[in-house]
A and B are shown apart, each in its own frame.
Chain A
Amino acid sequence: MTETWEDIREIDLMAYADGLLEDDARRKGAVEAYLAAHPREAERVDAIIRDNREIREFFADELNATVPTRLLRTVHHRPRRQLRLGQAVAAGIVLVSFAAAGGWFVGQRDDDVMAGAPAELLNAIAGRHVARQARATVAQHTSQIAGGVLLPAASNKVHIEIPLPQLSAHGFNLVNRTRVVAAGHGAIQLVYRAPDTTLNLFMWVRREPRSSSLSSQRMGDRLIHYWTAGPVGYAMTTDAGEEDARRLAAMVHGAIQQGRLLEHLPPSNADSAKGGDAVAGDGTQVGRQGEPAAQLPPRQFN
Chain B
Amino acid sequence: MSDEFKWAIERQIPHMRRYALALTRDRDTADDMVQDSLERALRKRHLWHKRGTLRSWLFRILYRKCIDHYRRARPETVPADAEVIDGTLAQPPDQEARIDCRNVCDAVERLPKEQRAVVLLVALEGLPYDEVAEITGTPIGTVRSRLSRARDTLRTVRETGSDKERPVKLRMVK
* Chain A residues at the B interface, C-beta cutoff of 8 Å: 10-11, 14-15, 18-20, 44, 47-48, 51-52, 54-59, 61-65, 67-68, 70-72, 74-76, 78-79
* Given A63-B18, A74-B35, A79-B43, A54-B144 contact (CB < 8 Å): no
Residue B155 at the A interface, CB < 8 A? yes
Give the shortest distance, in Å, between B11 (CB) and chain A (any CB).
10
Interface residues of B in 41-100 (CB under 8 A from A): 42-43, 85, 88-90, 92, 97-98, 100
Q: Are the CB atoms of B101 and A57 closer together than 8 Å?
A: yes
A71, B33: Cα distance in complex, Å: 10
> Which residues on the A side are within 8 Å of B129 (C-beta)?
15, 20
Residues facing A in B120-142 (CB within 8 A) are 120, 122-124, 126, 128-129
A14 touching B124, Cβ below 8 Å: no
Cβ–Cβ < 8 Å partners of A11 in chain B:
144
- Which of A10, A44, A68, A79 is close to B31, meaning CB atoms less than 8 Å apart? A68
Pick from B13, B100, B126: contact of A54, CB under 8 Å: B100
Interface of B is mostly: helix
> How many interface residues does B have (CB within 8 Å)?
47
Does B147 make an interface contact (CB < 8 A)? yes
* Known A10-B148, A14-B147, A20-B129: A59·B18 in contact at CB below 8 Å: yes
Whole-angstrom distance between the alpha carbons of A152 and B138 in the complex?
Answer: 57
Which chain A residues border B105 with CB–CB below 8 Å? 54-55, 58-59
Q: Is the CB of B10 within 8 A of A51?
A: no
Nearest CB of A to B13, in Å: 5
Q: Looking across the interface, which residue of chain A has its beta carbon closest to that of B36?
A: A74
| Cβ-closest 3 pairs across A and B | A62-B18, A58-B101, A52-B123
**From residue 1 to 30 of chain B, which have CB atoms closer than 8 A to chain A?**
1, 6, 9-10, 13-15, 17-18, 21-22
Q: Decide yes or no: A57 and B97 within 8 Å by CB, A51-B123, A74-B38, A79-B43 being known contacts.
A: yes
Residue B108 CB within 8 A of the other chain: yes
User: B113 on the interface (CB 8 Å rule)?
Assistant: no
Bound: A70/B35 CA distance, A = 8
Whether, in the assembled complex, B117 has its beta carbon less than 8 Å from a beta carbon of chain A, the answer is: no
B114 in the interface, Cβ–Cβ < 8 Å? no
Judged by DSSP, the binding face of A is helix
Instruction: Name the residue of chain A whose CB is nearest to the CB of B97.
Output: A57
Q: A14-B144, A51-B104 are in contact. Are A72 and B18 (CB under 8 A)?
A: no
A57 to B88, CA, bound (A): 14
The reply to whether A58 and B102 contact each other, CB–CB distance below 8 Å, is yes
Task: Give complex CA distance A70, B104 in Å.
Answer: 31
13 additional A-B residue pairs with CB within 8 Å, beyond A51-B158, A70-B35: A47-B155, A47-B158, A48-B151, A51-B154, A52-B123, A56-B123, A58-B102, A64-B14, A71-B17, A71-B38, A74-B38, A74-B42, A75-B10
Q: Which of A18, A19, A71 contacts B13 (CB 8 A)?
A: A71
CB closest residue in chain A, given B86: A58
User: B13 touching A59 by the CB < 8 A rule?
Assistant: no
Q: Of all chain B residues, which has the CB nearest A11?
A: B144
Q: A75 near B144 (CB under 8 angstroms)?
A: no
Q: Which residue of B lies closest to A82 (CB)?
A: B43
A72 touches B10 (CB 8 A): yes
A58 and B108 CA atoms in complex are apart in Å by 12
- Please tell me if the beta carbons of A75 and B85 are within 8 angstroms of each other in the complex: no
B123-A55 in contact (CB<8A): yes
Q: Is the CB of A75 within 8 A of B128?
A: no
Are B104's CB and A58's CB within 8 A?
yes
Residues on B with C-beta less than 8 A from A54 are 97, 100-101, 103-105
A59 CB contacts on chain B under 8 angstroms: 18, 21-22, 85, 105, 124
Does the CB pair B21–A62 fall under 8 Å? yes
For residue B39, which residues in chain A have a CB less than 8 angstroms away from its CB?
Answer: 74, 79
Docked complex Cα distance between A75 and B31 (Å): 14
B104 touches A67 (CB 8 A): no
A248 to B42, CA, bound (A): 58
Q: Which residue of A is nearest B107, CB measured?
A: A51
Residues of A within 8 A of B144 (CB): 11, 14
Determine whether the beta carbon of B34 is less than 8 Å from that of A18: no
CB neighbours of B158 from chain A (8 A): 47, 51
Most chain A CB atoms below 10 A, which of B97, B119, B123:
B123
A65-B35 contact given A51-B151, A74-B42, A76-B6, CB 8 Å threshold: no
Which residues of chain B come closer than 8 Å to A76, judged between CB atoms?
6, 10
- A120, B154: Cα distance in complex, Å: 87
